[in-house]
Structure 1
Amino acid sequence: MEWALPQWGQLITLFIIATAMGMDAFSLGLGMGMRGILLRQVMLTSVSVGFFHMFMPMVGIAIGRILGVLVEQIAVMIGGGLLIFLGINMVYQAWGKSRANTSNNTANVSSIWGVLLFSLSVSLDSLSAGFSLGLFEVDTILAVLLFGWISMLMAGTGLLLGRHVSTWIGGYGEAVGGMILIGLGLRFLV
């Protein structure tokens, strides 16, 4: 079975959005990794982040589909506006005062509650992105799997690299993710 051009376009778009959403997990993982983390904690945290990045967009897509039926004509504008808002928020957090010291703002992943809190906090943006995607005709299974898989890989990579690099990479990575979302949001509005 061959994919048509719109299906490839959807895959590429979802991959880009999933990567942008995973930048937050990557940047926070860098900060957390610099504090020192066991390999077992890296695995548990990465899988938990992946799960929440699957669950939250699925909820967002469901809500977006329900509201999309109600606001048919302006659904695309709302979705694009939300992506722009998420992107601006990510860029602001990357360079704003709230992320001035990433290593002090991360949760402690030595307990299961710390892992769950960290995973939930980095996946909240995915809820909003899922809502935006729900306003469009998107393949839910593909979106959810890409969000989960990519964020799991990016969180694990950030946690592992955190021991070896300085904090500036984390902020720039999140800023790049935010700019990608802004670009995609503008594309939907134009």
Structure 2
Amino acid sequence: MILIAVGLGADAMSICMGIGIRWNTGRHRFRLAWHMGFFQFIMPIIGWSIGERVAGAVASVAPYVAGSPIIFIGLKMLYEAITSKPGDLAQKEEHAFERAVEKAGARTGKDPTRGWSLVFLSVATSLDALVVGFSLGIKNVNIWGASILIGFTAAAMALAGVIIGKHVGMKLGRFAELAGAFVLIALGISFMFT
């Protein structure tokens, strides 16, 4: 479960590295860590409740239904990390953030650690956790312990990402995304065979 938490936290960490380049006060750090952790905590619970209801209907193929989404997320992260150039990750996150802010009707360039901008960013980052929660529901895992671990890990990794972003920028963001991808792919495969 720790590896799943780290794999999911890698996304939050890489995004927070980009934000930490510009917004890096104690308040920015707290808001990012709190929101990333909270949404990474709550989304697996929502996904789990759906997965638990579906588990009976897919009992004969449950390991494949549980492992496939996690492998897909890992492959998507791996593809994005491999096909992007070192500066592309920060630019990609910035464009995704700007689109989310525009949809919310806010001004682009606004502090992403405040208001609806932060909520949209946190939800978008935790969608993978929703899918993982679905898989955990099919596997009938204790979701409360798993979600607490995922939430705290994401909060810690988001905080570390903001701090690292201030000092080294996006140089490590690609590494974090690659590491998270490999962890999730391996775990998805293990879900299929256990």
After TM superposition, the score normalised by the length of structure 1 is 0.87
Deviation of the 1:37 alpha carbon:
2.5
Q: In the alignment, does 2:90 pair up with 1:102? A: yes
Aligned pairs for 1:68-107 within 5 A: 68-97=55-84, 100-103=88-91, 105-106=93-94, 107=97
Out of 22, 26, 35, the residue aligned to residue 39 of structure 1 is 26
Out of 106, 112, 115, the residue aligned to residue 115 of structure 2 is 112
Structure 2 Cα separation of the partners of residues 121 and 95 of structure 1: 21
CA offset digits 1:116-172 (Å, max 9, x no partner) = 111111101100011111110201110110111100110111011101013121111
Deviates more, 1:104-113 or 1:51-60: 104-113
Aligned pairs for 1:127-166 within 5 A: 127-166=130-169
Structure 2 Cα separation of the partners of residues 53 and 28 of structure 1: 14
Q: How many residues align?
A: 177
After TM superposition, the score normalised by the length of structure 2 is 0.85
Aligned pairs for 1:13-24 within 5 A: 14-24=1-11
Matching residue of 1:54: 41
Deviation of the 1:46 alpha carbon:
0.9
Q: Is the 8 A contact 2:74 2:184 kept in 1?
A: yes
Any gaps of 5 or more consecutive residues in structure 2?
A: 98-110
Any gaps of 5 or more consecutive residues in structure 1?
A: 1-13
Q: 1:25 to 1:62 in 2, by over 3 A?
A: same
Q: Which amino acid aligns with 2:57?
A: L
Q: Which amino acid aligns with 1:149?
A: F
